[in-house]
Each structure stands twice: as C-alpha cells, then as structure tokens.
Chains A and B, each alone.
Chain A
Amino acid sequence: DSGVTQTPKHLITATGQRVTLRCSPRSGDLSVYWYQQSLDQGLQFLIQYYNGEERAKGNILERFSAQQFPDLHSELNLSSLELGDSALYFCASSVASSNSPLHFGNGTRLTVT
C-alpha cells in the first residue's frame, strides 16, 4: 500500500461531460503529481502541485485543470470530454525533492463513450 488514495477507481461517462478525479497524498507528502497513462502515449506527466501551488506543467490540455487544497488533497477536473481522453489517470505524491521517489495511487480508469 503506497498510502496514496485515488477515487473513484472507475468512471464511465459520455463525450462532452465533465468529471472530477480525487487524490489524497501519502501522509507528510506536500507534492502531488498527475499522470495520464494510455496505450499509445504511455505515461504522460500532466501537472504538479506543491503545498497548494502549481509548480510544473506538462502535457495538460486546456480542458483539464487541477488544484491542491489546504488539506493537501488534489482534484483533477476534466471537461468537454472526448473519446481520446479515455485512459488511466494516476496521482502520485512525494516530499518533492528531485531525488525523492514518487508514490503512486492505483489510478482512476476513465472510459468516455
């Protein structure tokens, strides 16, 4: 058990809809990362938050947004969903130094129909 909790485990929704994915980091970790995993793109870094502030941005679409709350949990919001957004979305947390490993949750599998 990594200590990182993601909900829900599965999400099925229709194109054009909006969903929210939630992540609770490991106790003591200030940094949260979101990754998207798909068969064709592999693991793609989306965005990082550290203690409530955005710190790094990757290949995140404008339709996607995230935030980290004062209690350090994070939410990833995906809107105007397209079929191509179907993927596994992982949250990871760390103490946020460059030599610290990431601790991953079990992911949320999003299916857009």
Chain B
Amino acid sequence: AQSVTQLDSQVPVFEEAPVELRCNYSSSVSVYLFWYVQYPNQGLQLLLKYLSGSTLVKGINGFEAEFNKSQTSFHLRKPSVHISDTAEYFCAVSEGRGGGSNYKLTFGKGTLLTVNP
C-alpha cells in the first residue's frame, strides 16, 4: 500500500526567504506525485505534478519540486516566499497503473507554511 509522510507539520519563514517542504512516500510500484495547496476556508488546488520525464517539475506561483526515486522523496521548494503563500500544503501519491477508472490519491497530513513579514 502507498503512504506519504510530510516531515514537518509547521514551517514558519520570513517573507522573501527560501523554503523547502519535505515529502517522502512509499510504494511498491511506480507512482505519480502531486502537491496541493489549501488556502483558509477553501478546497485543495493543484500546485504541480510529477508523472514521468524530467525529475524537476515547475508549478504555479513559483513553486517547484524534485522527484528523487532513490530517496523516495518529492520535496517542494520556492526560492523566495510571499505573505500570500501562507497556506497548508499537501503532498499526495497515486500508484501508476497506466490509466483506468479506479484509484485513490493518498495524502500526507499536510504542512502549514506561515510566512511572516
């Protein structure tokens, strides 16, 4: 069974500082990886995804993530954060089955990023 571990439940940073949110996964098969963001009182929205190909993927709002198969990690980074990046971030994994109509996305417990002025 697949699982996701987000190593930090809370990450406080100052505005314009770099940030890394850590995510490790476990799965016995190939995986697809996602990062979602949840702003207060809203649903989750997709930041970026890794399906195949280049291990460095770029997403919205200046975020990027690197897939490392040997370390089973998919850490999220941003070189300079803004106050508006304050939100909860979720790493998620689905097992690659080459398509099909039934699968479930497994989420980590989330990392609350707080950007302070």
Contact = CB atoms under 8 A, between A and B. Distances in A.
Contacts of A102: 44, 46, 105
Main SS class of interface, B: loop
Interface of B: 32, 34, 36, 41-46, 49, 51, 90, 94-110
A101 B101 contact: no
Interface in A12-57: 30-31, 33, 35, 42-43, 45, 48, 50-51, 55-56
Interface of A: 2, 4, 30-31, 33, 35, 42-43, 45, 48, 50-51, 55-56, 58, 90, 92, 96-99, 101-107
B107 A104 contact: no
A61 to B, nearest CB: 17
A58 B110 CA distance: 19
B94 A106 contact: no
B45 A48 contact: no
A35 B104 CA distance: 11
Contacts of B97: 98
A33 B42 contact: no
B43 A105 contact: yes
B104 A45 contact: yes
B45 A2 contact: yes
Contact of B104 (A2, A33, A105, A106): A33
A109 to B, nearest CB: 9
Ordered nearest first, which 3 A-B pairs have the shortest CB separation?
A104-B43, A55-B102, A42-B109
